[in-house]
């Protein structure tokens, strides 16, 4: 027995209209959003690839930003950055050809990041970021105090402009 006095065809029509409206308002935007999301994803991937390529270049800004990423301390970052500039100014043959921006040698047998040594016993790194990581670990191991007093008189002469 039917509970309402509405004729059957009218009730069916309401259900059909409700279903169509549901499909149009709820499901159709998901279909459209998927293609937009795919477009955004492709754009984001290409943008991220471009930013990654720019971040991999050996520049003062990239080295400073990466050192800050490693240390999360602006004082340590500034100190390490000044040491790097004093050692190679990021333009030395060792820095450009062998990715050793710190002038690092094999210290206490720690060969976690470098792939070999050159004739002068300087480390050869696959990328300049490994050299920065090695410097940060070296400074954490030995402490920055000795380096600070070694370079203290030269710090005011080193330009750290990015």
CA angle (52, 98, 162) in 5-degree steps: 50
- Indicate the domain borders of the chain: 8-55, 60-157
Task: Report the predicted TM-score, pTM, of the whole model to 2 decimal places.
Answer: 0.60
pLDDT for position 17:
79
Smallest Cα–Cα separation from 80: which of 92, 55, 63?
63
CB crowding 10-45: b at 16 or more within 10 Å, else e: eeeeeeeeeeeeeeeeeeeeeeeeeeeeeeeeeeee
Who has greater pLDDT, 5 or 131?
131
pLDDT tens for residues 67-93?
988 888 888 888 888 888 888 888 889
What pairs with residue 122 in β-bridges? 105
């Amino acid at each position: 027995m039917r509970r309402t006095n509405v004729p059957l065809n009218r009730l069916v029509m309401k259900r059909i209209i409700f279903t169509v409206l549901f499909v149009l308002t709820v499901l159709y935007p998901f279909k459209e959003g998927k293609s937009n999301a795919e477009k955004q994803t492709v754009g984001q991937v290409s943008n991220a690839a471009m930013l990654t390529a720019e971040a991999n270049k050996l520049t003062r800004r990239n080295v400073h930003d990466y050192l800050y990423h490693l240390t999360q301390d602006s004082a340590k970052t500034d100190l390490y950055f000044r040491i790097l500039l004093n050692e190679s100014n990021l333009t030395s043959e060792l820095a450009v050809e062998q990715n050793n921006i710190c002038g690092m040698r094999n210290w206490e047998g720690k060969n976690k990041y470098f792939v070999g040594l050159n004739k002068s016993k300087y480390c050869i790194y696959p990328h300049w970021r490994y050299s920065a990581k090695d410097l940060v670990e070296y400074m954490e191991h030995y402490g920055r105090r000795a380096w600070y007093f070694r370079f203290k008189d030269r710090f005011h002469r080193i330009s750290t402009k990015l």
